[in-house]
């Protein structure tokens, strides 16, 4: 809402595919145009980087570009660090506005710092940007929906005006947020011992996800299932595009309750 009503942004681009609620969130907030940039190459079961770059190159200046910070939902495919640098170059060249959605920090690699690399790189380049960070998953606080919204600006003089406008939006939307989830996160992050314990839990969860990927691939290859399955272990995070067709997916749902 701030970007649409105060920043006067009207166009937003998200990856195709993306989290199903992104379009509803941005259009309901006041954006007039919701578009997508290519991301998943179904034939190669990999990132369509050339298509992504072409679509961003054709985006009108001042468009908001929604980027998944890590562990892309739903493909499980992230750009490499070199590709992130090229994306940053193009966004800067075209006068676009980066908006990071960081919902799965820690679940890509098991390392919180490594998973924050893209956001920190854009910050180091001096971009003005927004990062919406969720603690619902990596703190297991699904029912609290606690998170952190970060605005990065070049001029310190805009900090208070931005804070004031965001406060007005909060006041109109929900007035005061529940504090239980935020206090849990604050307690953990302000206690070094608890923070280290939490990092260990993140690593445990990420390692389990990685082991599940390897287990699935090994079983498919052991059964000599047609096709190649390396893309399952190449992908990261909680989501995977398996490459299975609609009939196979429907069979898994109907007969085995695998979704």
As annotated, the active-site residues are 19, 101, 137
Strand, helix or coil for residue 68:
strand
Number of C-alpha atoms within 13 angstroms, CB side, residue 183?
4
Report residue 190 as tokens: 């302000």
CA distances (Å), origin 148, targets 24, 101, 119: 20, 11, 14
Distance of alpha carbon 149 from alpha carbon 169, whole angstroms: 13
Residue 79 has a CB neighbour count (10 Å cut-off) of 19
Assess contact for 141 and 105: CB atoms under 8 A: no
For CA atoms 55, 57, 59, 65, the dihedral sign is positive
In total, the chain counts a number of residues equal to 259
Collect all residues with Cβ–Cβ distance below 8 Å to 4 and sequence separation of at least 6.
10, 26, 29, 30, 31
Strand, helix or coil for residue 80:
coil
Number of C-alpha atoms within 13 angstroms, CB side, residue 114?
14
Query: Measured in Å, how far apart are the chain's first and last C-alpha atoms?
Result: 34
Quick one: which of 68, 54, 82 has its CA closest to 14? 68
Assess contact for 81 and 124: CB atoms under 8 A: no
């Amino acid at each position: 809402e701030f970007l649409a009503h105060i920043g006067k942004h009207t166009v937003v681009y998200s990856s195709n595919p993306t989290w199903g609620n992104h379009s509803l969130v941005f259009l309901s907030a006041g954006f007039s145009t919701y578009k997508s940039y290519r991301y998943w190459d179904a034939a190669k079961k990999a990132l369509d980087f050339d298509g992504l770059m072409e679509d961003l190159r054709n985006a009108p200046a001042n468009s908001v570009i929604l980027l998944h910070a890590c562990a892309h939902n739903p493909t499980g495919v992230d750009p490499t660090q070199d590709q992130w640098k090229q994306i940053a170059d193009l966004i800067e060249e075209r006068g676009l506005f980066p908006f990071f959605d960081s919902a799965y920090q820690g679940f890509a690699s098991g390392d919180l710092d490594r998973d924050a690399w893209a956001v920190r790189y854009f910050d180091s380049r001096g971009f003005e940007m927004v990062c919406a960070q969720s603690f619902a998953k990596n703190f297991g606080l699904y029912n609290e929906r606690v998170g952190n919204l970060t605005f990065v600006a070049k001029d310190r003089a805009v900090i208070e005006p931005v804070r004031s406008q965001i406060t007005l939006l909060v006041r109109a939307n929900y007035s005061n947020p529940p504090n239980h989830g935020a206090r849990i996160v604050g307690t953990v992050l302000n206690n070094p011992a608890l923070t280290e314990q939490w990092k260990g839990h993140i690593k445990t969860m990420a390692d389990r996800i990685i082991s599940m990927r390897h287990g699935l691939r090994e079983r498919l290859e052991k059964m000599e299932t047609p096709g190649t399955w390396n893309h399952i272990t190449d992908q990261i995070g909680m989501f995977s595009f398996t490459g299975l067709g609609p009939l196979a997916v429907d069979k898994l749902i109907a007969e085995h309750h695998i979704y």
